[in-house]
Structures are given as C-alpha cells and as structure tokens.
Amino acid sequence: MPVSGESLVLAGTTPGRLWFEAIQPESVVVRSTYLPNQEGTTVYEAGRDYVLDVDAGTLARTADSRIPDFSKNPLYGQQEFDHTKFPGYGNGPYFVFVDYTAKDGAALCAPSDQTALLAGTRKKLEAGGPFKLLAYGDSITAGGEATSVPLRFQQRYAACLRERFPQAEITVENGATGGDTTRNGLARLEEKVLTRAPDLVLIGFGMNDHNVGSVPLDEFKKNLLDMIAQIRDRTGAEVMLFSAFPPNPAWKFGSHRMEQYAAATRETAVEAECAFADVYGTWMQVLARKDTESLLGNNINHPNDFGHWIYFEALKAVRF
C-alpha cells in the first residue's frame, strides 16, 4: 500500500505514528514539503535527522535533527486554548512529510455505491460538454490551509472526474466563505449558488455550526434541507453533502460534538435522498493511529495538504 506525503509533527525525540505499521524501509522518503522537488525542499536523512521503526510504523527526530521541533510551537501542551492569545500558532513550519509503502494495508475508504443518487450527474458527464462543479461551505471548503489551489479537495476531486470522464469540460467554482455556518450558507445561497448554474453542488458545513453557542443540531439539519430543496428547485443540480472532522480537542471554542453534527449530516442526506461523503468517518480512521496536530494546518480546525487528501478520498469513495 503506497502512501504519499503523509504529514507529521514531531516533538523532541518522541516518536510520531504513521498511518500504517510494517513499512518497507527502502520506500521511505522524508522531506520538508508536501510535494517532492518543490523549491526549497529538504530531504531528511535517516540516522542524521530521524529514526524509523519499520515494524511499529513510527518516526522520531534525532537529538540534533534538522526537522523542526514541534515542542517549540506556541500551542504545544496548551489546554482549553484561545488561539488569539498565541501568535504564530500554525503548524505549517513544523510539518514533515513522508512517502512510504506499507507491507499490508487497505484503502482508506470503503466504496459506497450511490449511483441512484447521482444518476443525473453521471448522465451529464458521460454526454460531455460543460459541467460545473460548485463547492459550498465554510473556510475548509474555501481552501483553508491548502498550500495551493490544485491541492484543495474539490480541485483534486474534479481532476479525478476529468480522468474518468475525459469528454466532459469540468470547471470548479468555489462559493465557500470562511467562518460561515449553515445560517450564513442560507443567507448567501442566492448569490453563491442559485445564480451560478451548477451541475453538481458539494455542500460541507458543521465546523462552525458545532462551536460553542452556535447552531443547534435541529436547526443545522433544517438549514441543510432548505439548501438542498432550493438548489434542486432553482437549478436542477444534484447535491452531495459531506461531513466535517473534529477540531483540535484542546481548542476552547469547540463544543467537541462533531460526531453528532456528522451524524446529522448523514441523516439529512438520507432524508433528502442525496449523496453523502463520510469525511468524519474517514478522518477518524486516520486518527486511530495519528495525532490531531499532524493533520491540522492551523492547529485548530483547518486540514493541511494531507488532510485535504483525506477529504478527497472520502469524496472519491462515493461511486456512481
């Protein structure tokens, strides 16, 4: 099982866990950037910069490693933190990225056959011609912490669809706004979606809805249902909902009930008979071995490049 650009933050000489155990040692490349051969990329050296335990699937800094020490991050070890009081709290400068091949392992997401829910999308893509994919949601969908536009999850998904349907002229429009809840999403729907003539709309809310004092679960579901109904009625587009992942558990402003908001997103999709991508479940599979900070670009609630890949994997698992 090959893995590309898996992210870690490493504190002191404490080992960090990779997604898989049983690593083929000759396959390992450890570098400072998500993509190889970027300008300024440092390729780290085994023994000098890190120690790899191939059986346990762990990586640790050496005492004099060139890999940045995550224990120097202002948020390291903080509990119930207010990020506004810690300038320089982002994780970007601390990431290390690893390519490797695991001796065993399965794909991250089990495929989910949702052909009946995306029959119109498939028909349009197979027919060829212009096809607009519109992404709608909060700062994560807006691209939060992806280091380039092509690495955002909706762009990766569009690239995958282009390979599958080369006759289609797929364009991506991003209607997301940072900080939005589903309340804001309803308020902006006319401008950002209904007047944009989409063919397929990806909708992802929940990260801000779930925060302390924000949108209750019943209203969250109602708002999503209202969006879906208006999109179908006004544009004829099909909709795919996707859930969100849990933010840093030490963040003061999270209610830490994302499991409930993710379940509500799934329930809404079932009720509305629209497609659903299980980002939450996919993310939790990765967290079964990895720490939250290794996936968060801002150390709070934005995925890094590898995290955007996790989103893409969840979307790709929706088969039609």
Q: What is the pLDDT of residue 106?
A: 80
Cβ–Cβ under 8 Å, residues 29 and 101: no
Q: How far apart are CA 266 and CA 276, in angstroms?
A: 6
* HEC assignment per residue over 182-217: HHHHHHHHHHHHHCCCCCEEEEECCCCCCECCCCCH
Q: Are residues 300 and 221 in the same domain?
A: yes
Position 223 in a domain: yes
Residue 60 contacts by C-beta under 8 Å, 6 or more apart in sequence? 10, 13, 14, 15, 16, 50, 51, 53
Q: Is the dihedral of CA 108, 302, 34, 173 positive or negative?
A: positive
Question: Do residue 130 and residue 250 come from a single domain?
Answer: yes
**What pLDDT is attached to residue 15?**
98
Which residues have C-beta within 8 Å of that of residue 210, sequence separation ≥ 6? 244, 254, 255, 257, 258, 260, 261
Domain boundary among 101, 122, 153: 101
Residues of the chain with pLDDT under 70: none
Residue 49: domain span: 2-101
For residue range 176-202, what is the model confidence (pLDDT) as tens digits?
999 999 999 999 999 999 999 999 999
Per-residue pLDDT at 49: 98
Same domain, 66 and 132: no
Dihedral-angle region of residue 301 (phi above 0 means left; psi in -120 to 50 means alpha; beta otherwise): alpha
Q: Residue 108: what pLDDT?
A: 86
Tokens 């708002």, located at residue: 223
pTM over 0.85: yes
Of 52, 79, 101, the residue that ends a domain is 101
The structure tokens listed for 318 are: 């929706």
Report pLDDT digits (tens) over 247-300.
Answer: 999 999 999 999 999 999 999 999 999 999 999 999 999 999 999 999 999 999
What is the domain-level CATH number for residue 167?
3.40.50.1110
Provide the number of structural domains found in the chain: 2
